[in-house]
Amino acid sequence: MAKKGSKFKKYSPEFKISCIIDMREHNLSYNETARKYLCREGQESSFRGRLKLWERIFLEEGEAGLCKERRGRTTKMDNSNKGKKKKLDKQVKEDLIAENQRLKEENQYYKAEIEYLKKLDALVRAEEQKKNKKH
């Protein structure tokens, strides 16, 4: 963990892309790439972790992935419109209301049909029981 108030180095997307492409073209290890692109000795291990992360992003999202700002919390805008209501066109809204009403009426029809069939089934069973008692 870094000390409070310490500054972190920000690398440009072009630098990240050039590191990853060079590493992949010349089959360099993370340590070799870190030594090549860092001037200070002893910092290869922290830079190696960054290279691994950059390579994963490069392989998953391409060069555009390395151009994204990933530091800090994501804002509500970044969370792909979670919780936002979309406004519908007036015609679409009317069509949806009409469709909803039609489905409600259809549902009532099927409920009535089911009730009718239940009563009919009960009458048929009662009639069969009467016949079985007579015989």
- Other residues' Cβ atoms within 10 Å of the Cβ of residue 17: 17
Mean confidence (pLDDT) of the chain: 82
**Structure tokens, 18:** 């050039």
Q: Is the pLDDT of residue 40 over 70?
A: no
Residues 22-48, mean pLDDT to the nearest whole number: 80
Residue corresponding to tokens 């030594």: 35
45/40 Cα distance (integer angstroms) = 12
Q: What is the pLDDT of residue 66?
A: 85
- What's the confidence (pLDDT) of residue 62? 87
Tell me how crowded residue 40 is: count the other CB atoms within 10 A of its CB: 7
pLDDT band with cut points at 50, 70 and 90 for residue 42: low
**Under 8 Å CB-to-CB from 85, ≥6 apart: which residues?**
none
